[in-house]
Chain A
Amino acid sequence: MKALITALFVLAAGSAHALNAADYQVGLAAAAKAAEPGFAGFSAQRGETFYRSTHGGDWSCATCHTDNPLASGTHTVTKKTVKPLAPSANPARFTDVDKIEKWFKRNCNDVLKRACTPREQGDFIAYLLTVK
C-alpha cells in the first residue's frame, strides 16, 4: 500500500515541480478507491470533523495543531511550539513524502490507536487546503 502511494505520487509530481499537498492527494485517492469501491472523492467537511474529533481517546489533531490550522500549535506534553499545519500558512508542509508518512503513522497511532485510512488522510488534507 505504502509503495503504491509513493509510486503514484512520483508519477503525479512528475519532474516539473516539487511535491505539494495536492500531488500527495492523487496517490491517496487511488489508494482510497482501491480500498472502497464506492469512494467518490475527498471531503473537506469530513476532514474538518476528523481534525476536531477525539475518536474516543483523549487527544484530537487539534490538541497539538490547535483549533486553527493556520496558527502555531503546542505539543500538549512537551509544550514545544509546532509550526502551522495548513500549507497556506506554512509552505513547507506536505513537501516531503517520508516526513508526511512518518507523522501520519505516529499521530494517527497517538490519536486513533490505529493507522489512518487513505480516505481519512485525503479528507484531512482537503480540509487543510481550504483554510486560508
Chain B
Amino acid sequence: MKTLLPALLIAASAPALAGDHAYGPFPANYVSECGSCHVAFPPQLLTAPDWQAMMNVLDKHYGVDASIEAKPRAALADFLQRNASRRDKHASTVQTPRLTQTAWFRKEHGNLPAKATRTLPAAAQCESCHTAAERGDYNESGLKLPAGFRHKER
C-alpha cells in the first residue's frame, strides 16, 4: 500500500505522459468559462507565451468578445500557465495564437481547413472527430472520422 499510493499520485498528477493523449479532465471553472463557446482546449497543446498573449485580449477573442472579470480570469490564466507546453513544436506559428497552427498540430492532422467545408469540420472543432474531447480525452479509441476525411491530406 505504501508504495502503491505514491505511484497512484504520480499517475493522477501527470495525465499526459508520452503516448497518452488524455489531457483532462479539466477543472470546473476552466470548462465553464473556456468551454461555453467551443470545447475546452487542452492547455498542454500551446505554449505559455501563447496562452498569455491570448488571455491579455479576451475582449477581442478571434472575432468575439469573451471578456471575463479580473479575478476568475487570473485563476484561469494561472491554470493555463501551469499546464502549458514547454516545447517549440507546440508554439503557434501565427500571430494570434492558435493551437491548430502549431508544427505539432499540422504534422498530426495535415491541413485541416480553418473554416468548416461541406465535407470537413474546421480544425478547431476537435469534438467532431475526437468524440471524448469534452473530457479532454484525445486517445485514438475515441476517434470517429467524418466520411471523406483522408488522414494527413495536403
Task: State the main secondary structure of chain B at its contact with A.
Answer: loop
Q: Are B116 and A110 in contact (CB under 8 A)?
A: no
* Band of interface residues on A: 10 to 19
Q: Mark B52-79, 1 if CB is under 8 A from A, else 0.
A: 0000000100111111110000000000
* Band of interface residues on B: 10 to 19
Q: Which residues of B contact A79 (CB under 8 A)?
A: 116, 121-122, 125
Q: Are A105 and B65 in contact (CB under 8 A)?
A: yes
Q: How far is the CA of A37 from the CA of B24 in the complex (A)?
A: 53
How many contacts between A and B, using CB within 8 angstroms? 33
Q: Are A102 and B63 in contact (CB under 8 A)?
A: no
How distant is B28 from chain A, measured CB to nearest CB, in Å? 14
Task: State the main secondary structure of chain A at its contact with B.
Answer: helix
- Taking Cβ atoms with an 8 Å cutoff, the residues of A that contact B are 75, 77-80, 98, 102, 105-107, 109-110
- Taking Cβ atoms with an 8 Å cutoff, the residues of B that contact A are 37-39, 59, 62-69, 116, 121-122, 124-125
